[in-house]
Amino acid sequence: MADTQQVRANYRNEEEEEERPDPDTSRSRRRRFKATNMSFGEMLEMVDILKKADYDGKKAKIMAKVVKSLHRNFGVRRSKDQLRKRWSDLKLREHEQYRRIRRVLQKSK
Which residue from 31, 18, 102 is spatially nearest to 10, judged by alpha carbons? Answer: 18
Structural domains of the chain, count: 1
What's the chain's length in residues? 109
User: Mind listing the pLDDT tens digit for each residue in 37-76?
Assistant: 888 899 999 999 988 888 877 778 899 999 999 999 999 8
- Percentage of the residues of the chain whose pLDDT score is greater than 70: 67
pTM here is 0.63
For residue 2, name the pLDDT band (cuts at 50, 70, 90).
Answer: low
**Using CB atoms within 10 A of its CB, is residue 29 exposed (0-12), middle (13-18) or buried (19+)?**
exposed
Domain span at residue 96 reads 3-108
Higher pLDDT, 2 or 56: 56
